[in-house]
Amino acid sequence: MPELDAERLARIQMTRVAEPGDPDACRLVREHSAVALVQRLRSGRLPSPKAQSWAERLAGVDVDAMLIAAERVSARYLVPDDPEWPDGLTDLRWLESAAGDRLAGEPFGLWVRGTLALSELSGTAVAIVGARASTEYGDHVAGSIAAGCAARGRVVVSGGAYGIDAAAHRGALAAEGRTAAVLASGIDRLYPVGHDGLLEELTCSGLLVSEAAPGCAPSRSRFLVRNRLIAALSAGTVVVEAALRSGSLNTARWARDIGRVLMGVPGPVTSMMSAGVHEMLRQPESVLVTDADEVLELVSPIGTAPAPVKQGPVLARDSLDDASRRLLDATPLVAAAPAGSIATIAGMTAPQALERLAELARIGLVIRVANGWRLPPTGPDAP
Amino acid sequence: MGTGIAYSVSLDGVIGRLVCVEADISPGIPGWALSGLPDASVAESRDRCRAAIINSFQKWPDLKITVGMYPADVRKVGSHYDLPIALALLLAQGKLPPGCLHSTVAFGELGLDGRLRAVPGVLPAVLSAYDNGVERVIVPAANAPEAQLIDGLEVIGAVSLAECIALLSGEDPPERDDVVPLMAELSAVGRKDLGGEEGDLSDVRGQRQTRWCVEVAAAGRHHLFLEGPPGAGKTMLAERFPRLLPDLELWQSIEVTKVHSLAGLLARDDPRVTRPPYQAPNHADTVPSVIGGGTRMIKPGAISLAHHGVLFLDEALEFRPTVHDALRQPLESGEITIRRSDGAARFPARFQLILAANPCPCGLGYGKGADCTCTPSRRRQYKERLSGPVRDRLDIVHTVLPVSRAEMRQQVGFEGSSLAVAHRVTAARERARARFAGMPWQTNAEVPGFEFRRRCPLPPDVAEPIEDLVARGKLTQRGADRVARLAWTVADLAGRERPGLTDVQEAVFLRTRGVHGCSGGASRVA
């Protein structure tokens, strides 16, 4: 590891001292520098009552061990002044002031591992998150959307967990795209253990990101704090499957709170794994999406990536007026009928009908035969 | 005084081997020596033989008796050696005409009063004797109908040792008194009670798509997995499944009867099993009772009793992992081998698998799932209990929805009755059999993959959805084969010469739990 400047080292120490996302710590480090904060903690001049616990933790921090652990997995530590630092994280600052106890702070540094530059995510990445106990349907849709986004150059961000997260990462890798996993554990601790292969593979073209100090164990609360990074690092968040009580909905909430596009993929209303998404989609700030095109339309500047309009086949009869459609309905398919009887059925006079039938015959929707008119063998719904 | 030789059969699973029982009576200190790896039940044979011989008004020789059973290195298990041992002893004493046991196999247990008691495994034993060129068998009268299933074999069904002696000596047999065979109580549990023949499919309300899955499964003999909330009718449908299947072919019937004979499950008067058997073991059952095994003689388990029939595992994910692992071999090869340190037994186990499972351990994870208390990791682990190899062999995977109130009030029409479905299934199977004329297969699911690709290729224009899924990695090659078989079954049910695009889409739908393809078959069902 190259020589680290004092500020960077102090921030690395701080990752162990304060809980990830602690708004006070984040603000103090940003406003006064970590070096100053660490010094004050050492000297006992505590900046806030909360800092008592920080000072106690600081005494036990072994920064060398952290650096060795990070170096072992070739992780690097990024701070906001680095060119690789992404823009999106500053949006978290707006939550800090109103945070209260919520661990919503803008991170003062991030551990990353992999070949992708973290800055590549800014403003364009797509987060795809969802249930761990996903269904085949959810895995399939998450993989397809991820592959579609990755194929169009977007980085797919997710949490590296089982289920939808894994399907999203795999989908992006299958499209030879790039994907980033934001971990709740330390950067050297791949969690869940069953995914160490996937996460290692991901570093070849993508990135692992963690706010926690190396060696940190993942805990329930850290997952929730981690979710804000998934939301903030991407331009929009897609929730593919989520039960009514699901961590993915927490990511969705972060995305909404910092003004990111919030998207949901519907499922059967009888599927428990889609119930949470449906509940989310019923809120006004979220949008229903069904494929990668629709996602890309929403996370791109307005008008730059419109999704193809989906509609059924256009039939020749669509362009007809009401009277002509009535005539078409009245014209028999097999045995021809005289214009008079067709006119009666269609509710118009024979001359009116004749005029229109001639027009319909010209565009091939009816056929004139010796004893009257009938439909062509292809039926009335020819394209 | 002399020696006498009789023949019997030792059974390893359904495979029998001729055993030669030799008795020697010679001067010396009165005593009894038995050699040839007898187990406890054979060793106790002496006391039964002694009492039976004396009670048959014969003399027990107070001399040195040696009984040898050959081949001497094969373990002899079971009480059916009583009769050959007694006959060999009588022959050694000269109480039977020399040569009267020529080309004859004896098989039966002796009561102390000399009565012959029925034993399990007569059919496979007799069959292997016949295959070894034996011309005549002596079995307990209660087992005679079972032995008579084999044409071209002389069967002597005797009620007692005395009757045996008389018949072999060419004398008039003594008058029969009422003989209570060992299997009297078991005969009530004959094939009438093998289950699956009661109730009608139309008893189950709603569930149109599930019925359709059941119909396709029955027509093509495809393995079926039903997942859904408790009370949706999964078990009811599975129980009504065997009635949809046609009768067994003669050769199938013999194979099934052999296994059921070993388990002692045959009806006494009419032992041949003609209907596809149905086995529904409980997840709390012991592993040997499901797979096969046992402490002395290796007995067939539920998976073998379901040979040529249906194995239904309710609450499939609650079964022990050992059971799931043990399903792999039979699913692949149609038989199960149970290995022990002292040998192995092979049983046929070509069953059709129907699995039913709740959506999650607490069973409430359906609909909006608001009441489900399972954590995501528990739900995941629960689903992963179904091992990959078994999962890959399931042709139809269907999520059963709870029955809605509207469906509860609707009667299921005639089209949905067992009779109508069985009729359609039979018609579809006949189409498949016409296609496989001259080949050893009956149904689409039985044909090995490479043979199926060769003999029943899908028209290139309709195979596209399958090839597309394979190319996108959504379907393995095995999966693609299974979809192709399903497509043929759907076409067979629809009475089409060959599958069309809709049949393939339907097959894809059934296999992928509705994630791909599309289904319209349910509209035809009910």
Whole-number Å distance between alpha carbons of B166 and B387: 59
Say if the Cβ atoms of B379 and A133 lie within 8 Å. Answer: yes
Highest mean pLDDT among A173-187, A346-360, B366-380, B509-523: A173-187
Residue B341 has pLDDT above 80, yes or no: no
Residue A3 is predicted with a pLDDT of 63
Q: For residue A234, which of A335, A127, A116, A144 has the smallest C-alpha distance?
A: A127
CA gap B330, B323 in Å, rounded = 11
The residue written with tokens 């119909």 in the block is B215
pLDDT of residue A1 exceeding 50: no
Q: What is the pLDDT of residue A382?
A: 59
Q: Which chain B residues are closer than 8 Å to A135 by Cβ? A: 513
- Among the partner-chain residues B366, B376, B514, the one whose CB lies closest to the CB of A131 is B376
- Is omega for the bond preceding B242 within 30 degrees of 0, making it cis? no
Residues of chain B contacting A193 with CB distance shorter than 8 Å: none
The alpha-carbon gap from B516 to the nearest alpha carbon of chain A, in Å, equals 9
Look at A272 and B513 and tell me if their CB atoms are within 8 Å: no
Residue B182 has pLDDT above 80, yes or no: no
- Which tens digits make up the pLDDT trace of B196-242? 557 888 888 888 889 999 999 999 999 999 999 988 889 999 999 99
Please state, in angstroms and rounded to a whole number, the distance separating the CA atoms of residues B267 and B184: 9
- CA-nearest residue to A278 within chain B is B368
pLDDT at B471 over 80: yes
- DSSP letter at B317 equals G
Contacts of A270 in chain B (CB under 8 A): 366-367, 401
**CA A346 to CA A320: how far, in whole Å?**
14
Contact (CB<8Å) A244/B370: yes
Residues 6+ apart with CB under 8 A from A271: A135, A137, A241
Backbone φ and ψ of A110, nearest 5° = -140, 140
Which residues, including other chains, have CB under 8 Å from residue A318's CB and lie 6 or more apart?
none
Surface of A (302-361) touching B: CB under 8 A: none
Task: Count CA atoms closer than 13 A to B434's CA, side-chain side.
Answer: 11
Alpha carbon of A13: minimum distance to chain B alpha carbons (Å): 33
Residue A289 in this model has a pLDDT that exceeds 50: yes
State yes or no: pLDDT of A82 exceeds 80. yes
Cα within 13 Å of Cα(B128), Cβ side: 20
If DSSP codes are grouped into helix, strand and coil, which group holds residue B231? coil
Distance CA A228, CA B350 (A): 54
Largest CA distance in chain B: 88
CA of B329, closest CA in chain A: separation in Å?
26
pLDDT for residue B486: 94
B525 DSSP assignment: H
> What is d(CA A35, CA A27) in angstroms, rounded to the nearest whole number?
14
Q: What is the 3-state secondary structure (H, E, C) of B334-359?
A: CEEEEEECCEEEEEECCCEEEEEECC
Residue B258 is inside which H or E element, if any?
Answer: helix B250-262
- In percent, the amount of chain B with pLDDT more than 90 equals 52
Closest among B336, B327, B319, B354 to B195, alpha carbons compared: B354
Q: What is the share, in percent, of chain B residues with pLDDT greater than 70?
A: 95
Strand partners, B396: B224
For chain B, say whether A132 makes contact (Cβ under 8 Å).
yes
Asked whether the beta carbons of residue A244 and residue B513 sit closer than 8 angstroms, the reply is no
Give residue A380's pLDDT. 65
Percent of chain A with pLDDT over 70: 97
In this prediction, residue A152 has a pLDDT band, given cuts at 50, 70 and 90, of very high
Which of A272, A278, A280 is the mutation pick for testing B, counting most B CBs within 10 A? A272
Contact A272 B368 (CB under 8 A): yes
Nearest CA to B7 among B96, B91, B69? B69
pLDDT at A290: 95
CB contact under 8 Å between A272 and B372, yes or no, is yes
Using alpha carbons, select from B240, B397, B225 the residue that is nearest to residue B317: B225
Reduced to 3 states, what is the DSSP secondary structure of residue A81? coil
Find which of B210, B368, B398, B515 to mutate to test the A interface (most A CBs within 10 Å of its CB). Answer: B368
CA A85 to chain centre: 21
CA of B372 vs chain A CAs: smallest distance (Å): 9
Please tell me the distance in Å from B223's CA to the nearest CA on chain A.
19
Across the interface, whether the CB atoms of B370 and A275 are under 8 A apart is answered yes
* pLDDT of res. B180: 53
Q: Which of B218, B165, B380 shows the shortest CA–CA distance to A195?
A: B380
Write down the pLDDT at residue A269: 92
Task: Using DSSP, state whether B498 is helix, strand or coil.
Answer: coil
CB pairs under 8 A between A and B: 48
The ipTM value here is 0.72
Among B103, B113, B63, B105, CA closest to B84: B105
Choose the closest CB to A136 out of B359, B372, B513.
Answer: B513
pLDDT of residue B190: 42
Judge: B368–A131 Cβ closer than 8 Å, yes or no.
no
pLDDT band at residue B514 using 50, 70 and 90 as cut-offs:
confident
What pLDDT, on the 0 to 100 scale, is given for residue B526? 56
- Is B367 in Cβ contact with A137 (below 8 Å)? no
Is the confidence at residue B69, as pLDDT, over 90?
yes
pLDDT (0 to 100) of residue B521: 73
- Note whether A136 contacts B: Cβ–Cβ < 8 A: yes
Query: Across the interface, do A272 and B515 touch by the CB < 8 Å criterion?
Result: no
Per residue in A295-313, pLDDT (tens digit) is 999 999 988 989 988 888 8
Residue B365: list chain A partners with CB under 8 A: 272
Q: Give A54 to chain B, closest Cα distance, Å.
A: 33
Do residue A133 and residue B376 have CB atoms under 8 angstroms apart? yes
Q: Which residue has the tokens 């909360």?
A: A50
**CB-CB under 8 Å, B369 with A273:** yes
Identify which of A131, A137, A246 has the shortest CB distance to residue B515: A137
* Chain B: residues touching A (Cβ < 8 Å): 359-360, 365-370, 372, 376-377, 379-380, 383, 401, 473-474, 512-516
Position with higher pLDDT, A240 vs A314: A240
Q: Rounded to two decimals, what is the model's pTM? A: 0.81
pLDDT for the residue numbered B41 = 85
Q: Which two tokens stand for residue B434?
A: 């016409």
DSSP assignments along B167-190, one per residue: HHHTPPPPPP-----TTHHHHTTS
**Could you tell me the pLDDT band of residue B278, with boundaries at 50, 70 and 90?**
very high
Contact status of A193 with chain B (Cβ, < 8 Å): no
Is the Cβ of A273 closer than 8 Å to some Cβ of chain B?
Answer: yes
Q: How far apart are CA B423 and CA B201, in angstroms?
A: 13
- For residue A281, the distance in angstroms to the closest alpha carbon of chain B comes to 14
Task: Give the per-residue pLDDT at B189.
Answer: 39
Q: In the sheet that A236-239 helps form, which strands lie side by side, from edge to edge?
A: A76-78, A110-114, A207-210, A179-183, A156-158, A126-129, A236-239, A261-264, A286-288
Closest residue by Cα to residue A165 from A188, A148, A142, A145: A142
Tell whether A131 lies on the interface with B, counting CB pairs under 8 A: yes
Q: Looking at the complex, report in whole angstroms how far the Cα of residue A156 sits from the nearest Cα belonging to chain B.
A: 19
Furthest CA-CA distance within chain A = 108
Work out the number of other CB atoms within 10 angstroms of the CB of residue A305: 15
Task: Give the pLDDT confidence of A364-380 residue by residue, as tens digits.
Answer: 889 888 888 999 887 66
- Is residue A266 less than 8 Å (CB to CB) from chain B? no
Q: How many helices (DSSP H) and strands (DSSP E) are in chain A?
A: 16, 11
Q: What is the pLDDT of residue B184?
A: 45
Q: Is the pLDDT of residue B188 over 50?
A: no
List all residues 6 or more positions away from B260 whose beta carbon is below 8 Å from its beta carbon. B191, B266, B273, B277, B305
Interface contact B515-A140, CB threshold 8 A: yes
pLDDT tens sequence across A132-141: 999 989 999 9
Among residues A143, A124, A126, which one has the least CA distance to residue A241? Answer: A143
Contacts of A90 (CB under 8 A, 6+ apart): A106
Q: Rounded to a whole number, what is the distance in Å from the CA of B130 to chain A's nearest CA?
A: 53
Sort out which chain B residues have CB atoms less than 8 A from A136's CB and list them: 512-513, 515
Q: What is the mean pLDDT of residues B453-466?
A: 88
E strands in B439-489: none
- Listed in order, strand segments (DSSP E) in B349-422 are 352-357, 396-399
| Set of chain A residues whose Cβ sits within 8 Å of the Cβ of B359 | 272
Nearest to A323 by CA among A343, A299, A293: A343
pLDDT band at B178 (very low <50, low <70, confident <90, very high): low
pLDDT of residue B193: 45
Q: Return the residue of B nearest to A247 by Cα.
A: B376
Residue contact B380–A270, C-beta within 8 A: no
Chain centroid, CA A213 distance in Å: 26
- CB contact, 8 Å: A174 with chain B? yes
Q: Do B368 and A244 touch (CB under 8 A)?
A: yes
**Residue B277: per-residue pLDDT:** 93
Distance from C-alpha of B360 to C-alpha of B378, rounded to nearest angstrom = 8
Q: Do A133 and B401 touch (CB under 8 A)?
A: no
CA-based nearest residue to B279, from B259, B294, B298, B251:
B259
DSSP code at position A176: T
Least confident of A1-10, B81-90, B459-468: A1-10
Q: DSSP assignment of A253-318, as one string?
A: HHHHHTT-EEEE----TT-HHHHHHHHHHTSTTEEE--SHHHHHHHHSSTTSSPPPPP-----GGG
DSSP label at residue A378: T
Cα distance from A45 to chain B (closest Cα, Å)?
45
